[in-house]
Amino acid sequence: MTGTHTVSAEEVAGEFARRYGRPPEGVWGAPGRVNLIGEHTDYVGGYVLPVALPNRTLAAVRRRFDGRLVFASTMTDEVVEVALDELAPGTVKGWAAYPAGVVWALHTAGHDVVGTEVLVSGDVPVGSGLSSSAALECSVGLALAELSGLTLGRPELALLCQQAENTFVGMPSGVMDQMASLCCSEGYALFLDCRSLHAESVPFAIADQGLVLLVIDTRAPHRLVDGGYADRRMSATEAAIALGVASLRDVSREDLPDALGRLDERLRPRARHVVTENARVLVTVDLMRAGDYASVGQLMNMSHASLRDDYEVSSPELDTAVDAALQAGALGARMTGGGFGGCAIALLRHDRREQVERAVRDAYTERGFDEPRFFPATASAGAHREAP
Residues 84, 61: Cα–Cα separation, whole Å: 16
Q: Using the Cα atoms of residue 131, residue 2, residue 142 and residue 36 in order, give the sign of their dihedral.
A: positive
Residues with a known catalytic role:
177
How far from each other are the two terminal CA atoms of the chain, in whole angstroms?
28
Angle value at C-alpha 9, between 8 and 12, nearest 5 degrees: 90
Q: Closest Cα partner for 31 from 149, 154, 123, 141? A: 123
Given a contact cutoff of 8 angstroms between Cβ atoms, the answer to whether 51 and 215 are in contact is no
Residues 370, 20: Cα–Cα separation, whole Å: 39
Q: Closest Cα partner for 211 from 60, 55, 378, 45? A: 378
Q: Closest Cα partner for 34 from 278, 300, 233, 264? A: 300
Q: Using the Cα atoms of residue 124, residue 128, residue 133 and residue 138 in order, give the sign of their dihedral.
A: negative
Given a contact cutoff of 8 angstroms between Cβ atoms, the answer to whether 190 and 175 are in contact is no
Q: E strand or H helix at 235, and its extent? A: helix 228-243
Q: Closest Cα partner for 94 from 169, 167, 160? A: 169
The amino acid present at 292, given as its one-letter code, is D
Task: Count CB neighbours of 76 within 10 A.
Answer: 12
